[in-house]
Amino acid sequence: MFKLLFQTMAMTNLNVLLDEIHNCRHCEPDLPNGARPIVAAHADSRILIIGQAPGIRVHNSGVPWNDPSGERLREWMAISPTNFYDAEKVAIVPMGFCYPGTGKNGDLPPRKECAPLWHEPLLNNLKAIKLTLVIGQYAQSAYLKDRKKGSLTKTVEAWRQFAPRSLPLPHPSPRNNRWLKNNPWFLDEVVPYLQQRVKKLV
């Protein structure tokens, strides 16, 4: 009875927090398309995806990873869209919740205000996480800290040092096709391990 009561209270607190995040307008003056925070989480989430920031397609749809990058990520995970978008199984917490706009070389980096404002209280409510996918340089710098290697390639290459709780990944963007071609070990070694872990957790 007490366990059920605790779980209900935790879920209520998380729902309140998620509402606050969805209503956040802290950076709106600096966002070219306005604020539309993208996040998904549940107290029972077992897999946590920490990426960078939504792109314009995700901003327009309001659906996280609803783009070619998301399609590739789901292929790497060997997960169905139904399971991927089930927050009781997969939490999605980007470094920046809103689309930051476009620069000379593609999308701008995640806004620096998001993670300090929201990540700690949000992750404190996710007690069931068994696997965290740390995707891209911004997430790896924030969450792997001094365990991060000299480059993204070397960090991902050292994936065994982070398993089984965490797994550093390159961004699944089509922009990284050359990286994937130059690093075939990723699809040969890391992806099968990732699929095995995901299968056990969902």
What is the count of structural domains for the chain?
1
CA–CA dist 152, 79 (Å, integer): 24
Q: Which domain holds residue 181?
A: 2-201
pTM, to two decimals = 0.93
Cα-Cα-Cα-Cα dihedral sign, residues 54, 59, 64, 68: negative
Q: What is the DSSP letter of 126?
A: -
pLDDT tens for the 202 residues of the chain, in order: 434 333 444 566 999 999 999 999 999 999 999 999 999 999 999 999 999 999 999 999 999 999 999 999 999 999 999 999 999 999 999 999 999 999 888 899 999 999 999 999 999 999 999 999 999 999 999 999 999 999 999 999 999 999 999 999 999 999 999 999 999 999 999 999 999 999 999 9
CA–CA dist 56, 43 (Å, integer): 28
End-to-end Cα separation, the chain, in angstroms: 26
CATH of the domain at 32: 3.40.470.10
